[in-house]
Amino acid sequence: MIRVKVAVGIILRDNSVFVALRNSKQHQGGLWEFPGGKCEASESAEVALVRELKEECGISITECEFFKTISHDYGDKSVELFFYKVTGFDGEPVGKEGQEVRWVAVSDLVSYDFPEANKPIVVALMAHY
Ligand SMILES: Nc1nc2c([nH]c(=O)n2[C@H]2C[C@H](O)[C@@H](COP(=O)(O)OP(=O)(O)OP(=O)(O)O)O2)c(=O)[nH]1
Ligand SMILES: [Mg+2]
């Protein structure tokens, strides 16, 4: 079974969060995600987070805090997701890889389809905003 370590950024501003649509060809494609990606060998989750958010969204993180770890087995792939709240950044986030992106009010997250592993995260965010 493939097992990957993934760094994920919950980019927050006011009461909104920045989400991106996963490409239909990707694993868990067609679902919304918080931007992020796989940690390279021997790369810490925090270093991977900074790199991925620069690559995928064009922002430089200035303030972030660890939020939660979630391990999930999709059957074809098992993931260990390290979620961080990103509350400070330089630049305006965009879909640098052509992905559809949106700022969504945290209270509206319930209307978006996320991968199964994200469900407890969405519930936790909605409870606090
Ligand atoms: N980025 C991200 N990945 C998620 C989330 N929830 C979730 O289950 N995943 C899964 C889907 C993928 O199996 C894995 C992340 O892979 P990825 O496709 O973003 O990795 P990457 O950016 O390094 O992409 P690539 O180089 O493989 O194209 O984690 C989420 O909220 N954000
Ligand atoms: Mg990615």
pLDDT tens, position by position, 18-46: 999 999 999 999 999 999 999 999 999 99
> What is the rounded CA–CA span in Å between residue 14 and residue 32?
20
pLDDT in the model for residue 12: 98
Q: How far is the CA of 107 from the centre of ligand 1 (A)?
A: 23
Q: Tell me, using a 6 A CB cutoff, whether residue 37 lines ligand 1.
A: yes
Total number of domains in the chain: 1
CATH number at residue 25: 3.90.79.10
Q: How far is the CA of 71 from the centre of ligand 2 (A)?
A: 17
Q: Tell me, using a 6 A CB cutoff, whether residue 57 lines ligand 1.
A: no
pLDDT in the model for residue 3: 87
Q: What is this structure's pTM? A: 0.96
Q: What are the residue ranges in the chain where pLDDT is below 70?
A: none
Interface confidence, given as ipTM, is 0.95
pLDDT in the model for residue 128: 85
Q: Tell me, using a 6 A CB cutoff, whether residue 121 lines ligand 1.
A: no
> What is the rounded CA–CA span in Å between residue 45 and residue 93?
20
Note down the domain range covering 49. Answer: 3-128
Residue 17 tokens, joined: 């969060």
pLDDT in the model for residue 2: 81
